[in-house]
Amino acid sequence: MSGLEHNADLRALNTLGLPAKAHHLARPATLDALRQLLAERDLSQPVFVIGEGSNLVIDGDLPGLTLSLAIDGMVKVKEDDSHVWVAAGAGVHWDDLVAWTVEQGWQGLENLSLIPGTTGAAPFQNIGAYGVELSQVLEQVTVMEIASGKVLHFSAAECEFAYRDSRFKSRDRGRYIITGIELRLNRQPRCNIDYAPLQAFFAQRPGVAVTPAAVREQVIAIRSSKLPDPTVLANAGSFFKNPVVPASLAASLQQRHEKLVSYPQPEGVKLAAGWLIEQAGWKGRRLGPVGMHSEQALVLVNHGGATCDDVTALAEAVCRDVKARFGVELEQEPVRMPGPTANR
């Protein structure tokens, strides 16, 4: 196979900076190149897709074929009086896509500003922030089936989106490679500023119009003040999902902890994992070369030289303490790799 890097160092392709190598690494920029790589690979070996590695805990070297898609391009597909449809390749840096749509005056992605990673990774995880999830604006996902090389399209409903989850991450993990997405955005702003700091900012500045550009600016400011830049301090973003618990448990916790941060949901009550971790004493605390960030307890950081075992030890310690204090189970958000792989 042409265009392969052998025994490739993956330290720069996982934002936690964990040591690992790929037996074979390829960065296909077209569907044809991707299809050829899949057709010529060793069928006895697994296939991994890592993007920019911004939501990844990499556990040792990766055998087989590792792909970091470089499929580029952002384009307006169509429009009507109310909406505009845009498509982007899986290799587009996510925030570049957000910035481009906001510059056009299109509304829908501004709350998702500054999320690291590629566009192809966005539906895998159903990324979300500040009251908005990708599933709310996604029209369809284009994929290539690993086993056959066929290109398929899934509507938003067919993606089986859930909180930080999709069919691509769960039941069909390792079956498809996401190659692009199509989004439906609003031509007239209907910005979501329900997130308290956003609401407070605009309430205190009645002269500032609530536009996609203004919301994006504030989201960037909020994220920058709370979340470490992975190029400066290695991290994989939010390390745990916000747990959803039964209303009865949330009510019991509220009686004992007046400042409990919670959000009612149709299926229960969502608790702020960062608040739970902070109350359990882990904000800013280190365990060897890793620790929970001093400004945002939800973010696990690598202070230098960490391995996957170090990350696992800290994550397990945090989970134990939160469980002991609150009776709440935390679930890791970043994907661990190796994990479930492609059909061979």
Number of Cβ within 10 Å of residue 210's Cβ equals: 16
Write down the catalytic residue from 164, 167, 184, 216: 164
Asked if residue 49 lies in contact with residue 69, where contact means CB atoms within 8 angstroms, the answer is yes
Name residues whose C-beta falls within 8 Å of residue 335's C-beta, 6 or more positions apart in sequence: 55, 56, 57, 169
Residue 180, SS3? strand
Residue 299, SS3? strand
Q: Give catalytic status of residue 164 as yes or no.
A: yes
C-alpha 278/C-alpha 275 separation (Å) is 5
In order, the DSSP letters of 13-49 are GSTT----EEEEEE---SHHHHHHHHHHS-TTS-EEE
24 DSSP β-pair partners? 6, 65
Q: Give catalytic status of residue 238 as yes or no.
A: yes
Write down the catalytic residue from 27, 238, 262, 278: 238
Q: Look-up: residue for tokens 């090389």?
A: 149
CA distances from 96 to 75, 91, 251 (A): 13, 11, 42
- Going by the DSSP 8-state scheme, the letter that residue 241 receives in this structure is P
Give the helix ranges, DSSP H, for the chain: 31-40, 94-103, 121-125, 196-203, 212-226, 247-256, 273-279, 308-326
Handedness of CA 109, 175, 63, 41 (dihedral sign): negative
Q: What angle do CA 242, 248, 249 make, to 5 degrees?
A: 45
Asked if residue 66 lies in contact with residue 8, where contact means CB atoms within 8 angstroms, the answer is yes
Write down the catalytic residue from 110, 182, 278, 333: 333
Question: What's CA 128's distance to the chain center, in Å?
Answer: 8
Residues noted as catalytic: 164, 238, 333
